[in-house]
Chain A
Amino acid sequence: MRKAAGLVSVFFLVILGSVSLHMAMAADSNPAAVEKPAGAPAQPAPSSHYLRYPNIAFKQKMTLAKGTGITKQAAQCIACHSQKTPEIVNDWSKSVMAHAGVSCFDCHTVSKDSPMANQKCPGVAGTDIYVSSLVSSATCEKCHPNEVKAFRQSGHARAAIQAVSQPLNQALLAHEDMNMPEFKDAVFMTGCAQCHGSQIKMDADQMPEAGSWPVHGIGTIYPDATVGNCTACHLNHQFSIAQARKPSACGTCHLGPDHPDIEIYKQSVHGMLFEARGAKWHWNSPPGGWQPMADYSAPTCATCHMSGINGLQPTHNVDLRLKWNLWAPVSNQRTGGFDTAAETFMKTGKLTAGNPLAGNPQGPEAARKDMLQVCAACHSTEFGQNYLGMADKQIGLFNKYAHAASEMIATLQKKNLMMKDPWADPAFRTYYYMWHHEGRRMRQGAAMEGPDYSHWHGVFELQQSLRILQAIYNQRIKTGKIDYNQTGGVGVGE
């Protein structure tokens, strides 16, 4: 009898529970009323000065207080754009930005005097509100000043300035588009700019010019004279920290024959562990709180080059832990302090070469100390020291090759034995491949544990190329003439 009474009461409780749950859900799925009508059913608190939206921030519904959360004007943007550009709004609604109440209005409105301002959007036409499809790092900087500052002190900030201003790059582009005006900008905008960034220009209609936009590059120069595109790694409109921590965020640019960094990572033991276990790692920990063992069991690019780990502060300056420049014709230690290109441009409007030896302002040894501190989060001190010590030797070895090659080129130039068009000259081509392709693979493979890139794609091809260059050199010095039938330099052994 007692048992039966217990069962009945449990049954009633279940019925009661499901009815209340059902009612709660029915109330939740109320149509997308922008402003809650006065006298609506008794929900806690909300009066007419609370706004309600569907699909904002993780949950089906989030209540935001007007004035502190999303304003009425901002709500209008969301309401209309969830019809016009539903994918963008949907993407944004899953972001931490949405969770914090940062919406279209906050990033896309600009002052009337901004060079990017227009009123193309019918929703703002004729009002006092001006918008821009471009969002420069000056906007991100308002809430993330330290991240943007550190980024602008890094080599990344030089990417577009260097691409649009260096005469050698421009000369190469002129060769590649065959100097034909109908193909103007094609090489740059489908190639260089998508990683390096472009200098965005506005047309007479106050829209970004086709020859300069759209562009995904990290160092993009915006019409408001600011440098940097945060969405290169934190893709819009989720701006995810998790996504930027994954190797693919870096590998979208750091790949290929001249800097196969994502390939090197994949070959390394770190990359192998990422492939095997990465799906289960915690990618969303806060900055500085993303820790080995607790959150992941092997580093990604971001871990070693940027993250707060083993007592180091997180940074957006990717040069801070680098001892060497591993991309130049000769590897020098990074003694230059911070990069200056972005700061100089933003202050004076001048496009400068920046600082190729940008690194840690306390010098290359401090940078190495920091990197060893990263290694020591998982390895013994000797492990890191011995590994990077051997990489130092391999870099030193590359410099020997580089000096041997550059001396030959310098002698030939002095004796007027180089062709006028360097890209037709087997001597120049061989030299170019030596430092720009084979030598970078050798150095970067050595520093980041990509044995195949350090050796077979690297130093092995480098010594082959040096022999080819030597033969060309010997012939030219011996005869005092250029033999136009000579070959060399186009991807020897590739």
Chain B
Amino acid sequence: MFFDTPAFGFFLVLVVFLYWRLDRKGQNVLLLVASYIFYGWWDIRFLGLIFASTVVDFFCARFVGRSADPKKRRLFLAISVCVNLGFLGYFKYFNFFVDSFAALAHTLGLPEPAIALLQVALPPGISFYTFQELAYIVDVYRKEMEPAESFLDYALFISLFPHLIAGPIQRPSHLLPQVQNERRFDANSFYNGLILIFSGLFRKCVVADTCAIIANKAFAGQLGVPGFASTLLGVYAFAWQIYGDFSGYSDIARGSAQLMGFHFMVNFRQPYLATSLQDFWRRWHISLSTWLRDYLYIPLGGNRKGVAGTYRNLMLTMLIGGLWHGARWTFVVWGGIHGVGLALERMLLRRNADKRAGAMSPAGLWVRRILVFHLVCAAWLFFRAASFAEAFGMIRVMGNLTWQPVHTYALVHLLCFAGPLFAMDLLLEQTQEEFVFEKRHELWRAAYAVGMMCAVTLFAATQINAFIYFQF
């Protein structure tokens, strides 16, 4: 069930309506059933997978939490990690590794392995809930939290529908206690949740889905004559598409959660106003970047292993982060570009990178913002391209400087649809609010929500464009 469909609207209204009429246990049962319906809406067979994975983690964590024997603790941690990564690897990466191994064998002149590729659909959101499960078992192993006593609570923590498909990836220490304790109706939170939902719908349905039209055509080589203009417009359009899409999803997820008394972490903070790549990763997909930091970069040694070790850990983290997004080498390259960029930035600009944006001159600030935005766009080119051939093909044609009327139309569309999101970001950067008018009077916020809803009603691109991060 997609967030931007009437079915979800009715589903959410019904769930919220029933939810506040029940006690905590009833609420949790209702939410678990609703979350499984939400997930099964794609394909009922996927329910077995998430349920199996939940059962394994729940019991492994209990054994890890109760056992004093380090060997047993490690064993159950390993079982849980292997099961989780096994499911992820089987459904998401099996074909990728078989293909890659066959290509390598072919290059080396060796016989190609006779392994049949899988014909299975990727379960939606498997990367997200796997990371959440890994965080849980690791936290229990590290004794940073107690294992959940109730299977119902734990199953709900994993499957709570607002975050199930595309995050934000919730930390066990943040969400699990909310599931385990009573939620009280908070009118403030409810009111702001409604506004976040409409703000998110605007980002997704109006901004992202319109930019998608341009990006899709440019990457298919159909935005006029392929050249500098089509590549640049295509990459710009994709940059705003993926930002609108994912930040919109996160807003709707957070807003929906707030209607039921939950709080989810903020996932985006004006990423295209970042003044360095490090700053970008503090603003983009924050729940993933902090997860990678805490469960990968720091356990690898972080910056405690000397200069070379730090760069190695940085690269490994970004490469794995790239691969997490999808089973394609272009995603790995995307991660690699960010890894190299972060390492170079650390090496060359360390002092300046730490310089606070407020201390820079406006011109310097904008130069850095524009530079970082274009570095990020260069990486998006590989992220969006279906293959290296497509990515390098788009780069190769950039010598052709032809500008056609269709490029003007595409530029006008971009300005009309990405422009408002950019303006909103500038405003949010100034006010440090989570959404426009957050700290203003209720009437301002109501006007904002109504405006967003009107824009969504009239300007939403209608073809179903699945949220990009659903596939991850």
On whether the two chains bind one another, the answer is no
**Chain A residues packing against B (C-beta within 8 Å):** none
